[in-house]
Structure 1
Amino acid sequence: MSLVDFLKQIDEDVRNVLSDDFEIEITNTQFVPSFSDPFITYDNLTERIKKCKLLKSCVLYIDIRNSAKISVDNEADRLAKMYSAFVKNMISAARYYNGHIRNIIGDRIMVVFDRKDCFKNAFNTAILMNSISQHIIAKNITGIDFSCGIGIDFGEMLIVKTGAIRRGAETEFYRGLVWLGRPANVASRLTDLANKSFSKIKHRVHKASADNPTSTSEWIWQEMSASKFLDQLEHKYPNKIVSVDPRHANFFQTKYKKYWSYKPILMTADFYRGLAKECPDNKSIKNGWITKNARTIPEYDDYLYEADVVFTNSQNL
Structure 2
Amino acid sequence: MEAKHNNYNHISGARRMKEILNQADVDYQERDTLPTRDALTFNNGFYAYCSALFIDIRESSKLPDKHTRPVLARMYRAFVSEMVAVFASFSRCREVNIVGDCVWAVYNTPTTDDIDEVFSVAALASSMVNIFNKELEKKGFTTIKVGIGMSYGRALMIKAGYEGSGMNDVVYMGDVVNHAAKLAANGSKTYNDSRFMVSDVFRQNLNDHNKGLLTWNSNRRCWHGYVVRMDVDEWTGENY
TM-score, L = length of structure 1:
0.63
Aligned match of 1:28: 31
Show the 5 A alignment for 1:302-313. Answer: 303-313=221-231
Measured after TM superposition, the shift of residue 265 of structure 1 is: 0.7
Matched, 1:153 2:148: no
Aligned match of 2:216: 292
Measured after TM superposition, the shift of residue 15 of structure 1 is: 2.9
Show the 5 A alignment for 1:101-250. Answer: 101-115=95-109, 116=111, 117-134=113-130, 136-141=131-136, 142-165=140-163, 167=165, 171=166, 174-197=167-190
Where does the alignment leave 5 or more consecutive residues of structure 2 unmatched? 1-7
Q: Is the 2:84–2:96 Cα contact (8 Å) retained in structure 1?
A: no
Measured after TM superposition, the shift of residue 182 of structure 1 is: 0.4
For the pair shown, the structure with the greater C-alpha radius of gyration is 1
Q: Counterpart of 2:144 in 1: which secondary structure?
A: coil
Taking only the aligned residue pairs, the percentage that are identical comes to: 23
**Distance verdict in 2 for CA 1:72–1:26, change over 3 Å:** farther
Deviations 1:173-223 (A, max 9, x none): x422111110001101111111111xxxxxxxxxxxxxxxxxxxxxxxxxx
Structure 1 counterpart of 2:187, which letter? Answer: A
Matched, 1:270 2:194: no
TM-score, L = length of structure 2:
0.82
Where does the alignment leave 5 or more consecutive residues of structure 1 unmatched? 43-49, 198-259, 297-302
Q: How many residues align?
A: 222
Structure 1 counterpart of 2:143, which letter? Answer: D
Show the 5 A alignment for 1:73-92. Answer: 73-92=66-85
| Bigger helix fraction | 2
Q: Is the 1:61–1:187 Cα contact (8 Å) retained in structure 2?
A: yes
Aligned match of 1:217: none
1:25 & 1:289 partners in 2: Cα distance? 38
Aligned match of 1:239: none
**Distance verdict in 2 for CA 1:91–1:311, change over 3 Å:** same
**Distance verdict in 2 for CA 1:40–1:272, change over 3 Å:** same
Q: Counterpart of 2:213 in 1: which secondary structure?
A: coil
Aligned match of 1:236: none
Q: Which has the higher contact order (CA 8 A, sep 6+)?
A: 2
Q: Counterpart of 1:196 in 2: which secondary structure?
A: coil
Q: Is the 1:113–1:121 Cα contact (8 Å) retained in structure 2?
A: no
| Bigger strand fraction | 1
Measured after TM superposition, the shift of residue 12 of structure 1 is: 3.5
Q: Is the 2:45–2:159 Cα contact (8 Å) retained in structure 1?
A: yes
Aligned match of 1:57: 50
Structure 2 counterpart of 1:19, which letter? Answer: N
Cα RMSD of the aligned pairs, angstroms, is 2.4
